[in-house]
Structure 1
């Protein structure tokens, strides 16, 4: 008997994708085709390797980003999935701010956004502050739902004081 894969529960938002992403993919594809054509005509090994790596980049970087970048608002936090292996959960109690403009990051920032129309999440992990840029398709609905979940989540510090 097979074990059922754990389903991702919550509201799922796909990432908005700009034209710039498609242009990068198209340029990589055309460059790869051009390099491979050059290789087959002139038998230059280095050019053949470069052309092959362009297709590898398409298959291993751009395609997984395109297919697997999404955000799931769960009961306890926000799951951010980017590509094949990058998966981060930000708990609501770690979130300090969700804004449309980025402030200054003290320890680093990451971009899981495929669009320039972004939201920025400032969160704290072990006394270090980070920024994460995301780009959900329906930004207004995403903001409403995340604010509702953050308000509904009790603050641990307040609970320990009583």
Structure 2
């Protein structure tokens, strides 16, 4: 290792704001809690409706869009999936009659995903399972003030990191 690279590493170490014991415990609680929460919401949706959490999010986005339709590239960005992943997911949903794909009417090169009437019905039923889960697993374990604080924190993080808008 050269003197220069050793100096850079030392500078990085000295500038790192290490977590206190309490911060480390809270951080690990956040990681564990958010992982098991999302896993449980996903299991509930799969068991009751044959949908994954990411598929559910796609259906929600489509249901809220004008004409229940979004360009595939825009949809991939909204749900933070690669174009390849969104293509495979939409293909599965299309095979089930939940989503239809068409050429974009304003751009012949683009493809749109549209939530079908059947898909809207699937989403309407799945929404009950999802919202019950959010109430049971998250709201049931927090006060209104804690839940509001969590929302404010996540909004700031999303804004800082250029995250998705909901």
Q: TM-score, normalization: structure 2? A: 0.29
Please identify which structure carries the higher strand content.
1
Please identify which structure carries the higher helix content.
2
